[in-house]
């Protein structure tokens, strides 16, 4: 992030101190075969694998187990993870980790599996209640090594410093954020993306697009993250629809895997904004797909934020290949918002939150909870509860 105080003393943000956090990254078709060696490098003897039934059914866990056992490791599988991982699921997984006397934690699957794996690591190193660590840098003790293997192209959990957990009592998602949560090793094998359901391809792709845009316009943006953010935007807009229309097209799958990786690196280092702060609340309330919610909300937030940082949105629109040369930033943002909405239509995302079950009566509580989300702190335009309510109503 830019060094604190740089703007106050008149220093160009591009010249400010930047810290860029990233795991060791292994990328490419067949890279799952590196999992055993990667776990061994992290000191594994009894790795604990967090996944879900769908990944097991697809055959990827069996392949992973072969690679782990081939190098003499004794893994245990935990698969009782659902979408938008719940606080009690992470507690149960941690109990199993202790029973196994596990060491390295391996997450394989979508963002829910990877977030659950990170949650286990938090408890393994720090104990207590997972919800106690909400916010920024609340971990005080070291956590076990993390090896993350994504099976979707969008969440970025395999490279980020974020862990998202559902507080089931309050029906909200909480954000746990800190440098300690950046995985040690990330393995992205585009072959795993081929078993994604079409709806999941759409949802996770829109999540990656949101990551790229929000990271680029974030108050914490920096030149290193910017490169990854714009690359992610280009990649998603160029290839997402192909992965939905023709799921077997491997070049598009590889391109989306790369876009997801770039988006994850961008938002891990520049953080996010109002779209995610709002989306977390809807997801917590309705247990709805995170990327789908982002696809509905993002055009509205783009229009809202463009008043604060129009030139940044012009850069995003240009990176997206839109015909906005010489156009004022706010007009370019409108063109970008319309392009996002068309893409959402093309991949089957509903036009409004009401189609997901959000009602007018939900708006006040959703808005209040949004103000507590850590992602809102780096949104480029400040927002009151009334302004957040207006955004939710516009998106109904």
Instruction: Please check whether residues 180 and 148 belong to one and the same domain.
Output: yes
* Residue where a domain terminates, one of 192, 218, 249: 192
Contact indicator for 105, 146 with CB cutoff of 8 Å:
yes
Instruction: Please check whether residues 187 and 201 belong to one and the same domain.
Output: no
Instruction: Please check whether residues 247 and 128 belong to one and the same domain.
Output: no
* DSSP conformation class of 83: S
* Residue where a domain terminates, one of 170, 192, 214: 192
Please report, for the domain that includes residue 298, its CATH number: 1.20.1090.10
* Residue where a domain terminates, one of 192, 219, 238: 192
Contact indicator for 108, 77 with CB cutoff of 8 Å:
no
Burial of 118 (0-12, 13-18, 19+ CB in 10 A): buried
Is 177 part of a structural domain of the chain? yes
By DSSP bridging, strand 162-167 and strand 172-177 are: antiparallel
Instruction: Please check whether residues 241 and 160 belong to one and the same domain.
Output: no
Instruction: Please check whether residues 163 and 208 belong to one and the same domain.
Output: no
Is 51 part of a structural domain of the chain? yes
Q: What pTM value is reported for the model?
A: 0.93
Instruction: Please check whether residues 249 and 115 belong to one and the same domain.
Output: no
Residue recorded with tokens 């850069």:
315
Predicted local confidence at residue 8, as pLDDT? 34
Instruction: Please check whether residues 264 and 172 belong to one and the same domain.
Output: no
Is 118 part of a structural domain of the chain? yes
Predicted local confidence at residue 2, as pLDDT? 38
Is 19 part of a structural domain of the chain? no
| pLDDT 10s digits, 303-338 | 999 999 999 999 999 999 999 999 999 999 999 999
Instruction: Please check whether residues 307 and 340 belong to one and the same domain.
Output: yes
Predicted local confidence at residue 5, as pLDDT? 35
Predicted local confidence at residue 15, as pLDDT? 57
* DSSP conformation class of 109: E
Predicted local confidence at residue 249, as pLDDT? 86
Find the helix or strand (DSSP H, E) in which 172 lies.
strand 172-177
Measure the CA–CA gap between 210 and 198, rounded to whole angstroms.
19
What is the four-CA torsion angle of 26, 149, 92, 120, rounded to 10 degrees?
30
Predicted local confidence at residue 267, as pLDDT? 97
By DSSP bridging, strand 105-109 and strand 135-136 are: unpaired
Q: Which residues pair with 174 in a beta bridge?
A: 165
**Total structural domains within the chain:** 2
**Which residues, at least 6 apart from 227, have a Cβ–Cβ distance to it below 8 Å?**
none
Instruction: Please check whether residues 337 and 233 belong to one and the same domain.
Output: yes
Predicted local confidence at residue 11, as pLDDT? 39
Q: Tokens in use for 83?
A: 């979408």
Predicted local confidence at residue 9, as pLDDT? 35
Instruction: Please check whether residues 184 and 288 belong to one and the same domain.
Output: no
Measure the CA–CA gap between 355 and 220, rounded to whole angstroms.
33
**Which residues, at least 6 apart from 280, have a Cβ–Cβ distance to it below 8 Å?**
164, 172, 173, 174, 175, 290, 370, 373, 375
Please report, for the domain that includes residue 55, its CATH number: 3.40.50.1970
Predicted local confidence at residue 17, as pLDDT? 86
Instruction: Please check whether residues 79 and 125 belong to one and the same domain.
Output: yes
Instruction: Please check whether residues 188 and 228 belong to one and the same domain.
Output: no
Measure the CA–CA gap between 220 and 18, rounded to whole angstroms.
10
Is 4 part of a structural domain of the chain? no
Predicted local confidence at residue 248, as pLDDT? 83
Helices 290-306 and 198-217, packing angle to 10 deg: 30
Would you tell me how many other CB atoms lie within 10 Å of the CB of residue 58? 16
Is 10 part of a structural domain of the chain? no
Q: Which domain holds residue 354?
A: 197-395
| Residues lower than pLDDT 50 in the chain | 1-12
Stated length of the chain: 396
């Amino acid at each position: 992030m830019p060094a604190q105080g740089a703007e106050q003393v008149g220093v160009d943000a591009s010249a400010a101190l930047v810290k860029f956090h990233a795991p060791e990254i292994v990328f490419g078709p067949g890279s799952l075969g590196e999992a055993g060696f990667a776990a061994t490098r992290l000191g594994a003897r009894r790795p604990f694998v967090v996944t879900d039934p769908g990944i097991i059914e697809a055959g990827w866990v069996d392949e992973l187990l072969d690679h782990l056992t081939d190098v003499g490791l004794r893994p245990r599988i935990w698969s009782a993870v659902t979408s938008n991982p719940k606080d009690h699921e992470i507690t149960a997984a941690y109990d199993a980790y202790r029973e196994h006397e596990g060491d390295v934690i391996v997450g394989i699957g979508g963002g829910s599996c990877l977030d659950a794996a990170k949650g286990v690591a938090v408890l393994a190193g720090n104990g207590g209640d997972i919800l106690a660590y909400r916010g920024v840098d609340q971990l005080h003790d070291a956590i076990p090594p993390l090896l993350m293997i994504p099976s979707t192209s969008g969440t970025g959990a395999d490279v980020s410093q974020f862990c998202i957990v559902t507080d089931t009592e309050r029906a909200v998602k909480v954000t746990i954020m800190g440098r300690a949560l950046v995985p040690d090793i990330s393995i992205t094998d585009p072959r795993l993306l081929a078993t994604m359901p079409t709806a999941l391809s759409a949802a996770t792709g829109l999540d990656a697009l949101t990551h790229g845009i929000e990271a680029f316009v974030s108050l914490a943006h920096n030149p290193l993250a910017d490169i990854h953010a714009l690359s992610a935007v280009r990649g998603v807009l160029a290839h997402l629809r192909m992965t939905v229309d023709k799921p077997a097209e491997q070049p598009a799958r590889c391109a989306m895997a790369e876009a997801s990786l770039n988006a994850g690196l961008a938002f891990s280092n520049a953080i996010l904004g109002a779209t995610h702060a709002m989306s977390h609340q809807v997801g917590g309330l309705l247990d709805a797909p995170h990327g789908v919610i982002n696809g509905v909300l993002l055009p509205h937030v783009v229009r809202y934020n463009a008043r604060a940082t129009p030139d940044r949105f012009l850069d995003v629109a240009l990176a997206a290949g839109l015909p906005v040369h010489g156009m004022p930033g706010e007009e370019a943002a409108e063109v970008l918002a319309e392009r996002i909405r068309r893409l959402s239509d093309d991949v089957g995302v509903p036009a409004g939150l009401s189609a997901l079950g959000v009602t007018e009566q939900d708006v006040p509580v959703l808005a209040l909870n949004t103000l507590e989300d850590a992602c809102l702190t780096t949104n480029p335009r400040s927002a009151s509860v009334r302004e957040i309510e207006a955004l939710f109503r516009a998106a109904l």
